Structure formats: C-alpha cells, structure tokens
Amino acid sequence: MSHVITDWEINNLLMSKKPEEIKIPVPWGHLSGKWWGPKDKQPWLAIHGWQDNAGTFDTLAPLLAPHIALFCVELPGHGLASHYPKGHFYYIHWDGLIVIRQIVKYYKWKKVSIIGHSLGGSLAFLYAASYPEETDAIICLDVASPAFLDNSTIVDITGRSIDKFLKYENLTEKEVPYYPYEEMLEIMMQGHGGSLTLESGELMMKRGARWDPKTNYYLFTRDVRLLSLTAFISQDVALEYASRITCKVLNIKAIPGSKYRRDDLYHEILDKIKENAKVLKFYEIEGTHHVHMNDPKSIVPYIIDFLKMEKITSQSLSHE
C-alpha cells in the first residue's frame, strides 16, 4: 500500500524554504525577526515570551503556513534585536506595546492580528484593549493577561527591581558570564523550569546565544537587564483592559502549563473578555508552558479552525 501524504507533511513540504530574516530600524538600533510564508500578504504578528526569541515559533510556523504568513518579531533586548541604550529601563509590557505600534506604523497596517506566547500573549491582550478598532484577532498561548499582583506586592518589589537593574547595568566586561555551549544550554533549560524539551531548547539557543571568538565560549544574546522586572498591574486594572477587548479571541491554555499561573484568576479574565469580544474560543490541552513549541501539532487544529472565521486584512505591504 502506498504512503498517503498527510496535511502535516504537505505543509512541511510547502514550507521547506527558510524564513526571511527581517530588520526594522528603530531609534536605538533595530528590531529583528523571521517572516514565514507569503511575502505579499499582511502577516500575523507573532510575539515570543519573556527572555525567549523568534525561535519559539520555529516548529509552529511551518504548520500554520500556507494558511497565513507569520512575522515573528523579537522585542528589544531579546534574540538578535538591539538592546536598549544604557540608562533605559525595560518596562516589558509597555515597551512591547510601543514596539507593536511602531511595527504597525512602519508597515502602514490599518488593522493587525497577533499571536503571542506568555509575555507575547499579554502584549496581544494589551494591544487589543488599547486599540480595539484596529485589532482583528488575537491568539494567546498559555496566558490570559499580564501577570497581576496585589498593590502591596507591587510596591514591595519596586526598590529591589531598580537595584537589580543598576547592578546588571554596571557589570564590567570581565563580569559578563561566558559558558561552554552545553553548560549554557543547561542553564537556559533550568531557567525555564522543565518547560522545554531538549530539541526546543536547542532551537531557542540558535538566536539566544552567540559564540565569542576571543574566549571560544558562548554568551546570552538577551540583555541581562531584562531580569529586573517591575511595572506589574493590579487585578482591577487587568479586568478593565479585558473589558475593552472587542476582537475575535482564541485562548489555548496548557495543562499543567505555567507554574506561576493562578487558574481562578485566569478564568476571571476570560469571563470579562467574553462580555465584549466578537468571539472567544477557549481550549485546554495537555502540555507544558511551551507546548506550542514542544508539540505544535496539538494546537494547530484549534488555530486553523479559528482562522476559518477570521479574515486577515489583505493589502500591499509598504513602509516609511
């Protein structure tokens, strides 16, 4: 009996070409990313998680195309994107919102559709709430909203975060850590708490580490200052953002997923989104926080079904 080619294999064959590397100029340097799929159609903007990079979509993107194009952008200080200049703090969520807006303006998109994992999903949530008339759809992977804390905790962490930022910013060249490749891979895997498979970790390392010819060791490409976090939002603010979302929404929650997640609060956000969103589709699948990378086939059917009800704005792509 001859082998029957599956849809998955067809997609992989169609997407055998490598994605195009993209650089977008910004005042402090450039944003970087990978464009998968058709170049003449407006893509979904794909955004990675905190300290990750565009490689997080390397296993998912080939399965989604040719259904859609994906522009997997890297946020400032992540992957191959430029770091912020010295003295510029990373506010993560608010910086990310500005970056999305810069990309929209750069390409002159009238509307945008966003798929995001973790931090990237939080940014999709915030953008859809901030620009409801200019957002077609969002897909959030194992996240419902930005992490929110009670007011006292937000105040408590502020000073520590600032001091951590200044410590990292003032590291001398000799203090910057270098590692053999295998040790660096192990550090990254441990940092993700078992969420990544070895194969996924190696994919992430392609843009997350660089070789130093002077020492013959590797160092992380991401800005170490990203480790100093602040500017979390409170629960009532998160719920207000959720109430402003009017576009079509797909939320895929991994089980057990993120170890930092509170499921009751997760569903409270979804309930609020449901009040005004055109569509809210929600699914739970078995997997870790990086299930979209470790086992992309498990989520692709849900995304494809969602795309059937979503028409992406089709227009010529131009820039300033």
Sign of the alpha-carbon dihedral angle for 272, 276, 277, 278: positive
Q: pLDDT tens, 243-271?
A: 999 999 999 999 999 887 888 899 999 99
Q: How do 29-36 and 70-74 pair as beta strands?
A: antiparallel
Q: Which residues are catalytic?
A: 118
Parts of the chain with a pLDDT under 50 = 1-5, 10, 13-15, 313-316, 318-320
What is the pLDDT, as a whole number, of residue 314? 42
3-state SS assignment for residue 274: helix
Question: For the chain, how many residues are written?
Answer: 320
Look at the pTM and tell me if it is higher than 0.85.
yes
Q: Residue 256, preceding bond cis, omega within 30 degrees?
A: yes
What is the pLDDT, as a whole number, of residue 318? 44
192: buried, middle or exposed (CB in 10 Å: 19+, 13-18, 0-12)?
middle
What is the pLDDT, as a whole number, of residue 149? 81
3-state SS assignment for residue 56: helix
β-bridge mates for residue 256, sequence order: 287
Q: pLDDT tens, 158-167?
A: 899 999 999 9
Q: pLDDT tens, 102-134?
A: 999 999 999 999 999 999 999 999 999 999 999
With a CB cutoff of 8 Å and minimum separation 6, the contacts of 176 are 219, 224
